[in-house]
Homo-oligomer: A and B are copies of this chain.
Amino acid sequence: MQPGLMRQGTGILPIASPGFPGSTAILRQPSWPGSATARGPAAHGEASEGALIAPASALCFGVAVTLACRRQRRRLRALSQKVSGIALRAGGPQAGAGVTVVTSTRCFGGSLQRLEHTSAVLGGCTMLFTVFVPGGLFQGKQLPVVYWLSGLTCSDENFTQKGAAAFEAAAELGLILVIPDTSPRGEGVPDEEPKCYDFGVGAGFYLNATTEKYRVHYNMLDYVTKELPALVAGNFSILAGKSSIMGHSMGGHGALTIALKNPGMYSSVSAFAPISNPTQVPWGKKAFQLYLGPDESAWKQYDSVELIRSYQGPPLRLLVDQGTADQFLEEQLLPGALQKACEEKGMALTLRMQEGYDHSAFFIQSFIADHLRFHSSQLTGLLSWCPESLPAPSVYSAATEQSLAATAPRLRSMVVLFLYICVCIAMQVLFIR
């Protein structure tokens, strides 16, 4: 696999390449005032000399910049190590802000904290959620937040325990990760008898229930979009108005529907194997029937395909990965319906069918760093995330800018090479003559 690559000359800095099919992430740097400086000395000579002196000066400048950058990087790394040696408390929860720290573990130079609080919107039950806060140079900085929504049967612990690749990427990109539970939990929370894996506790479907039995506790939509963000904002050093959302399976459905129902609230949304069209599949039909009642028209507000059709808001970019060996692909997930809806609407969807991957955490971990780079690109604007293949024709216009951005440095290199060869030939002709 290819390691990352830094080219100071062009101000383009692709970071840690994913190694798997997907995308290239490019960090935009402030461009160096190279041309101006390079022209400086040449102004004292004749016009014809400029052709010789400018590239040499530019070259010296380039070498100097390269060395300066390397020194800077070394300094930054040393500082980062120094800072991360200090106990990680800044950016962590403050006392009396509605949460209790259950555990706090150091992880990839940052901290992973499990927090407990009493949830008003979930009928007063005690909820747990996990937050990863990057350390090192990001210590104490205001950072964007990415929410992770897990799938059926999960709590926050599944992702936390298996999420090493996610924390590694978040630590590098400077993203706070927030991982809530998948439903209300605890005594007094209603459920079906006998308990089933695809409904009730561990399967809140990220909606607000309306049926008598479930409407007091099962309000995961309000929990994820209102109560939890307020708690996170009150307890962590976050960049206001900069959040993204992602999830897996039922959590993928949650991420997509929540982003589509709240235009402008999330900078980007991505999903792994989402239940794309729940009104048409067994998991969705069962849950919606029990949470929302028999009126199928009420179900549509929680169906990504339906929400895309009726979407009215700022342009939203979707990234979806789907394993081809996923055991639920045909019956429950229907990514084809999502793709069709996006094509019809002209919504920018990057759907990647990942050969041989199943529905497991190994699938998620294999691509999560790339998803976080995607979110970082939309949240910070410092990173440009370019899918390797263009989206469908209907969203071609949305992709053009990105693909051009990816091509530009290559063209620039070619022009520079051509100019240098010209100078080289000119010099040889000049001196042989």
Contact = CB atoms under 8 A, between A and B. Distances in A.
Nearest to A22: B81
A136 interface: yes
Contacts of A85: 21, 355-356
A2 interface: yes
Counting chain A residues whose Cβ lies within 8 A of the other chain, the interface size class is 35 or more
Contact of A45 (B162, B363, B428): B428
Nearest to A44: B432
Contacts of A366: 106-109, 168
6 A-B pairs with least C-beta separation:
A4-B4, A3-B4, A164-B365, A3-B15, A164-B165, A107-B362
A357 interface: yes
Contact of A84 (B21, B41, B358, B420): B21
Taking chain A's interface residues, is the majority helix, strand, or loop, or is none over half, making it mixed? helix
A62 to B, nearest CB: 9
A390 interface: no
A57 B5 contact: no
Interface in A286-309: none
Interface of A: 1-6, 13-17, 19-21, 27, 41, 44-46, 49, 52-53, 55-57, 59-60, 63-64, 66-67, 70, 73, 76-77, 80-81, 84-85, 87-88, 105-109, 112, 136-137, 161-168, 171-172, 323, 325, 355-358, 360-363, 365-366, 369, 413-414, 416-417, 420-421, 423-424, 427-428, 431-432
Contacts of A84: 20-21, 355
Q: Which of A46, A77, A358 has the most CB of B within 10 A?
A: A77
